[in-house]
Amino acid sequence: MDCIALFDSGNYANRVSRLFEMRGLNFPVISTPCRVSKSGCGYCLLFPEKYLSQVIEAGKACNCPVREIYRIIEEKERKKYIKIF
């Protein structure tokens, strides 16, 4: 199952994404869905849930802490977002 990690800025999301690229993992930076965005538009990191703890640790390591993480659940024609961090 996929998750999205929200950061305080798009630059933070890009920085964490680059850390994973150096490890050979491609976690894209995407637009934050309107249903979870609290400050208008923004960017977040899309990643498989099995990397949850690694994403949190990578954010801490590069001084780009994760603000929130949501699990993405596909329901019919819509996506549902469940806050897990």
Place of tokens 């920085």: 15
Task: Report which of 81, 76, 75 is spatially closest to residue 38, judged by C-alpha positions.
Answer: 81
21-55: per-residue pLDDT in tens? Answer: 999 999 999 999 999 988 766 899 999 999 999 99
> Which CATH architecture is the domain 2-83 placed in?
2-Layer Sandwich (3.30)
SS3 state at 6: strand
Task: Report which of 83, 77, 51 is spatially closest to residue 16, judged by C-alpha positions.
Answer: 51
Max Cα-Cα span within the chain: 38
Residue 47 — left, alpha, or beta (φ > 0 → left; ψ -120 to 50 → alpha)? beta
Place of tokens 């850390």: 19
Query: Considering the entire predicted model, what is its pTM?
Result: 0.94
